[in-house]
Amino acid sequence: MPTMTDDDKAPVIRIVRKKVVAGGHHGGAWKVAYADFVTAMMAFFLVMWICGLSKPMKQAIAAYFRDPSGLSKTTKGGRNPLSGGNEAMISAGKPAPVIPLDGKNPAEVEKLLIKKFETVEKEIVKQLEQSPDFRGMRNNIEVHLTEEGLRVELIEKRGSVFFELGSATLKPRTVAVLSVIAHQLGKLNNPVVVEGHTDSRPLNGLNGYSNWELSTDRANAARHAMEEHGLRNGQVGAVRGYADRKLLKPEDPMHFSNRRVSILVPYSMKD
Q: The whole model's pTM is what?
A: 0.61
Which residues are registered as beta bridge partners of 144?
151
The pairing of strands 149-155 and 192-197 is unpaired
Q: What is the pLDDT of residues 103-138, one digit of tens each?
A: 556 667 677 888 888 999 999 999 988 888 887 787
pLDDT tens per residue, range 173-232 = 999 999 999 999 999 989 999 999 999 998 877 788 899 999 999 999 999 999 999 999
pLDDT reported for residue 25? 53
Burial 203-231 (b: 16+ CB within 10 A, else e): beeeeeeebbbbbbbbbbbbbbbbbebbb
CA distance 163 to 177: 12
CA distance 192 to 223: 9
Reply yes or no on whether the pLDDT at 34 is more than 60: yes
Q: What is the pLDDT of residues 164-190, one digit of tens each?
A: 888 899 999 999 999 999 999 999 989
Mean pLDDT of 48-63: 73
* Torsion, CA 253, CA 258, CA 263, CA 269, rounded to 10: -10
Q: C-alpha angle 197/202/204, rounded to 5°?
A: 115
94 vs 31, more confident: 31
Average pLDDT, the chain: 78
Q: What sign for the dihedral angle of Cα 175, 200, 192, 116?
A: positive
Write down the pLDDT at residue 78.
Answer: 43
Those residues with Cβ within 8 angstroms of residue 120's Cβ, 6 or more apart along the chain or in another chain: 150, 184, 185, 187, 188, 265
